[in-house]
Chain A
Amino acid sequence: MGCFSSKHRRQFPGHEDPVSLASQTAFTVSEVEALFELFKSISSSVIDDGLISKEEFQLALFKNRKKENLFANRIFDLFDVKHKGVIDFGDFVRALNVFHPNAPHEDKVDFSFKLYDLDSTGFIERQEVKQMLIALLCESEMKLADETIEIILDKTFVDADVNQDGKIDKEEWQNFVSRNPSLMKIMTLPYLRDITTTFPSFVFNSEVDEIAT
């Protein structure tokens, strides 16, 4: 038995109820509360407004707010499901839920497809993959000749684009990742299993809030 019964659970003013968020996700109520500690820390890093801006998201990822990054931008846009330009706590918990070790594999595959479908056409196109490869090269300061990039793209599309129409559809992607399971590694965050241990202060804050209210 824990110290707190569900009716005494903390409410997050202006944010979705942790019990409701837990019911929609693989997280327990305590884990949602622990995620709130992480959310508070990220959402107050530039402006303490209870929302995560793109700048705050990049700061949390890179510890450097100046670092623009195509992939971080894309992840931010997928977290920001309501397209408000900011991530609220509900968005944050529901998006991280996909990365939970217990989340359905299909949800991970679906999220990864959206991630690489930069312009949301329902297909991963060759020019999108080339754009991502060039962004990666800029990020890592690795240099590859254009011919080498084209060889990598040729190889990838021969393997993934089964009907050879120059773009990868959802079914081709599902098939491709099932043959290349290592591509799904980025879709699971083992940290999420231990979130209450990483942010134990959620218990302390719960107690303080109960006394304060």
Chain B
Amino acid sequence: PVLMNAFELISTSQGLNLSSLFEK
């Protein structure tokens, strides 16, 4: 993770994954 920038890490949060709204 040290090689990644902070936003790359943050964008892996499940809370930002809106595709799960479409999973029935």
Interface size classification for chain A: 35 or more
Say which one of A9-17, A19-27, A185-193 lies at the interface with B.
A185-193
Interface size classification for chain B: 20 to 34
Contact A183-B18, Cβ < 8 Å, known A139-B13, A148-B1, A152-B2: no
CB atoms of B7 and A71 under 8 A apart: no
**Which A residues touch B21, using CB under 8 A?**
38, 42, 60-61
CB atoms of A75 and B16 under 8 A apart: yes
A-B residue pairs, 5 tightest by C-beta? A71-B15, A72-B15, A69-B15, A156-B6, A191-B22
Which A residues form the contact surface with B (CB < 8 A)? 38, 41-42, 60-63, 69-75, 99, 115-116, 129, 132-133, 135-136, 139-140, 142, 144, 148, 151-153, 155-156, 159-160, 176, 180, 182-183, 185-186, 189, 191, 195, 198
**Which A residues touch B13, using CB under 8 A?**
69, 71, 135-136, 139-140
